[in-house]
Amino acid sequence: MGENELSSVVIGMAIDVHSALGPGLLENAYKECLFYKIRNEGFYVEKEKPMPLEFEGKKLDCGYRIDLLVENKLVLELKCVERLTDLHLAQTLTYLRLGKFKLGLLMNFNSILLKDGLKRVVNRL
């Protein structure tokens, strides 16, 4: 399954989680529920995946963590904020670049409708 098809499936699952919980909870609640749902549907998913920074040939742990990584190819960055900012977008792009991933989804679960808080982020590699 390619990144685009996978992202469509994951967006559907995220909408299910958002519909069940509504906006206003802590980010971690949405992360745990989405992690459970993705895994329960048979997909490989990692939570709080460390992303080392490579510097002078060494991999250094600088504290970067991907919220959820699905099938080793789709980065999910979850937020629960008033509105998404350029900083959130830059954070998602950083994860894509560090891991050499093509596609990420930036999701703000504090939106009335999840689709209004969703951004597809593409790494042009």
> Over 3-32, what HEC string results?
HHHHHHHHHHHHHHHHHHHCCCCCHHHHHH
pLDDT band at 117 (very low <50, low <70, confident <90, very high): very high
Find the angle CA(13)-CA(6)-CA(79) to the nearest 5 degrees. Answer: 50
**Which whole number is the average pLDDT over 37-47?**
98
Residue 114 has what pLDDT?
97
**Which whole number is the average pLDDT over 31-57?**
95
Q: Are β-strands 58-60 and 65-70 bridged in parallel, bridged antiparallel, or unpaired?
A: unpaired
Residue 63 has what pLDDT?
85
**Average confidence score pLDDT of the chain:** 96
**CA terminus-to-terminus distance, the chain:** 20
How far is the C-alpha of 118 from the C-alpha of 107, rounded, in Å? 5
